[in-house]
Amino acid sequence: MPLAISGRKSCCNFGMATRRHRTTTRHHLSQKRRDKIMIRWIQYGVIAGVACLAGAAGLTFALAAPPVGTTAAVEFTPDGKLKKPDGYRNWVSVGAVVTPNDLNDGEAAFPEFHSVYMDPESFAHYEKTGEFRDGTVMIKELIGVGAKEATSGKGYFMGDFRGLEASIKDSKRFKDEPGSWAYFSFGHKYPLKAEATKQAAASCNACHPTSVTRRRQQRM
């Protein structure tokens, strides 16, 4: 005989199913937000490659004050160098992209994985507004392509560490830079630099002019 299910138990099961559905829905929406962040970041050239170092910035002492209720995610030295942030892997992981040489005739501009992290306060602000707030910090790890086959099938799997970079939006500190974004590199091998000098933003932004232009046209 089929098992009889009481009405009370059915309601309980329905409630649990509803909660699971809501949780799944929230996760789906959050993932869509993360995807949008990665797309916008790529379009604005934030994960562009490094070309050369700029001269040291003028004397400045602190990251532009973040909104009330938040704290600065990074620190600067008195001469404008960015200190290597600790604990960024505990920040929000917004995704990883890779453009392997195999798919680019052996000449990919950036063949590594780009694993991107955003400070939690800025991520929360982005989820509410869809905009990068003043003080947003993005950390990018460059990781080479390792194995291309696993027991689960063929693909591209992360290999050796290739570098650590950062981009920061600050309308006071970097008011003369496009979009108020500045770029830093802590090196491409261990040991990493403890402090990084601001790089030439023009070289970084030049990697995605087509994407930026297309996005502006879509807004018109």
Residue ranges per domain, the chain? 39-219
Report d(CA 82, CA 37) in Å as an integer. 23
Closest CA to 204 of 44, 57, 5: 44
Report d(CA 8, CA 30) in Å as an integer. 33
Would you say residue 162 has pLDDT above 80? yes
Average pLDDT over residues 63-75: 56
Are 88 and 120 in contact by the 8 Å Cβ rule? The answer is no
Higher local confidence (pLDDT), 45 or 57 = 45
Higher local confidence (pLDDT), 85 or 71 = 85
pLDDT at 40: 61
Average pLDDT over residues 24-31: 54
CATH assignment, 39-219: 3.50.70.20
pLDDT at 35: 64
Least confident stretch, 23-27, 88-92, 132-136, 141-145: 23-27
Q: 86-109, pLDDT tens digit by residue?
A: 999 999 999 998 888 888 888 888
pLDDT at 122: 96
Least confident stretch, 56-60, 131-135, 141-145: 56-60
Report d(CA 85, CA 66) in Å as an integer. 17
Are 135 and 169 in contact by the 8 Å Cβ rule? The answer is yes
Q: Is 191 left (phi over 0), alpha (psi -120 to 50) or beta?
A: beta
Are 97 and 115 in contact by the 8 Å Cβ rule? The answer is no
Would you say residue 64 has pLDDT above 70? no
Determine the number of helices (DSSP H) and then strands (DSSP E) in the chain.
4, 9
Least confident stretch, 2-11, 16-25, 49-58: 49-58
Cα dihedral sign for 42, 92, 142, 151? negative
What spatial distance separates the first Cα and last Cα of the chain, rounded to whole Å?
A: 66
Instruction: Tell me the whole-structure pTM to 2 decimals.
Output: 0.63
Distance of CA 105 to the CA centre of its chain: 27
pLDDT at 206: 64
Report d(CA 9, CA 14) in Å as an integer. 8
**pLDDT-derived band of residue 137, with 50, 70 and 90 as boundaries?**
very high
